Amino acid sequence: MTIIKPILDKKNKNFIILLIFIILIFSILYIYTYNILANAKYQQIQLKNKIDKAIANQNELKNYLFTLTDPKNFDSLAQKYNLVYNNKPEYLILRKWISEQTF
29 domain-assigned: yes
Summarize pLDDT for 63-76 with one digit per residue, the tens: 999 988 888 888 88
Q: How many domains does the chain have?
A: 1
**Contact 87/93 with Cβ under 8 angstroms?**
no
Specify the pTM. 0.54
49 domain-assigned: yes
**Alpha carbon distance 41, 84 (integer Å):** 59
Query: How far from each other are the two terminal CA atoms of the chain, in whole angstroms?
Result: 133
Amino acid at the residue 103? F
Summarize pLDDT for 3-40 with one digit per residue, the tens: 666 566 777 888 899 999 999 999 999 999 999 999 99
Question: How many distinct helices (H) and strands (E) make up the chain?
Answer: 2, 0
| pLDDT at residue 56, rounded to an integer | 97
| pLDDT at residue 47, rounded to an integer | 98
* Residue 82 scores a pLDDT above 70: yes
**Contact 101/95 with Cβ under 8 angstroms?**
yes
| Mean pLDDT (whole number) for 78-86 | 85
48 domain-assigned: yes
* Residue 103 scores a pLDDT above 60: no
| Selection from 85, 66, 65, 67 nearest residue 75 by Cα | 85
100 domain-assigned: no
81 domain-assigned: yes
**Contact 48/55 with Cβ under 8 angstroms?**
no
Domain range enclosing 51:
7-85
101 domain-assigned: no
26 domain-assigned: yes
30 domain-assigned: yes
